[in-house]
């Protein structure tokens, strides 16, 4: 198990909760706009943090926290037995668990849910299914993506689907297709693209007018979902 970083006291990673965030190294996608390239690659510059150290820190801080966000990288690539052991220990501290995932490992998602080890799931939806390989820069088993979506749509756990929107990669038509595919989901989140250091060197996206365009896109998607949120702008927006 490779924990590559910890962020303490996040107010944004777990909706409605104060949490610490654990970042697992390694990812099976290569989205060019990813802002955690060192975690995706598992860079040698990262210092692996042991589970014992993590749990000791959480034990000391549990009175300050509501939960823990399990993020990455892609957490579901870690050995399932190790994940189960870690999440069970976190839950035993009286803390809730949120999982961030790209949905490529539905069998792991299902096992964790069946064991009641997750309280909230945020699944990243990268693109319309037919564009996954193009956007993620690797071959993707879209049947696995569809299965993860259906697991969450059963309503056994609170969840959201979320999409980072670099306008150089995703068009309005793409987002409307995604809305039709995911129609009926409780919450869909549009995340503004953030400039900076990315996995693909030199990747840029022209985001002129995004402060107006992205909320307007949220309005167009509201018929598909109970709630649409726009994050990453100067002012967060909730539609519906």
Please tell me the class of the 3-239 domain: alpha beta
Looking at residue 207, its pLDDT comes to 87
With a CB cutoff of 8 Å and minimum separation 6, the contacts of 234 are: 211
Q: How far apart are CA 186 and CA 183, in angstroms?
A: 9
Looking at residue 131, its pLDDT comes to 98
pTM over 0.75: yes
Looking at residue 64, its pLDDT comes to 97
Looking at residue 235, its pLDDT comes to 65
Q: How far apart are CA 39 and CA 19, in angstroms?
A: 20
- Walk along the chain (240 residues) in steps of 10 and give the mean pLDDT of each run: 93 96 96 91 80 96 98 96 98 99 99 98 99 98 99 96 96 98 97 89 88 95 96 77
Looking at residue 44, its pLDDT comes to 60
With a CB cutoff of 8 Å and minimum separation 6, the contacts of 76 are: 83, 99, 101, 104, 105, 108, 109
């Amino acid at each position: 198990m490779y924990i590559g970083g910890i962020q303490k006291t996040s107010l944004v990673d777990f909706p409605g909760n104060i949490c610490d965030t654990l970042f697992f190294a390694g990812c099976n996608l290569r989205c060019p706009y990813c802002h955690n390239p060192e975690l995706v690659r598992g860079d040698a510059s990262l210092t692996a943090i042991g589970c014992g150290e993590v749990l000791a820190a959480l034990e000391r801080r549990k009175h300050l926290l509501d939960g823990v966000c399990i993020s990455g990288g892609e957490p579901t690539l870690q050995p399932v037995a190790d994940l189960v052991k870690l999440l069970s220990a976190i839950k035993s501290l009286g803390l809730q668990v949120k999982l961030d995932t790209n949905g490529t490992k539905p069998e792991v998602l299902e096992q964790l849910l069946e064991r009641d080890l997750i309280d909230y799931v945020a699944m990243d939806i990268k693109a319309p299914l037919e564009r996954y390989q193009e956007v993620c820069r690797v071959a993707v088993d879209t049947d696995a993506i569809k299965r993860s979506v259906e697991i969450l749509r059963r309503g056994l756990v609170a969840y959201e689907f979320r999409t980072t929107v670099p306008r150089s990669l995703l068009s309005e038509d793409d987002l409307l297709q995604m809305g039709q595919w995911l129609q009926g989901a409780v919450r869909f989140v549009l995340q503004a693209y953030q400039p900076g250091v990315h996995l693909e060197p030199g990747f840029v996206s022209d985001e002129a007018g995004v402060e107006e365009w992205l909320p307007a896109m949220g309005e167009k998607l509201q018929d598909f979902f109970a709630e649409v949120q726009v994050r990453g702008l100067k002012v967060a927006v909730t539609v519906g």
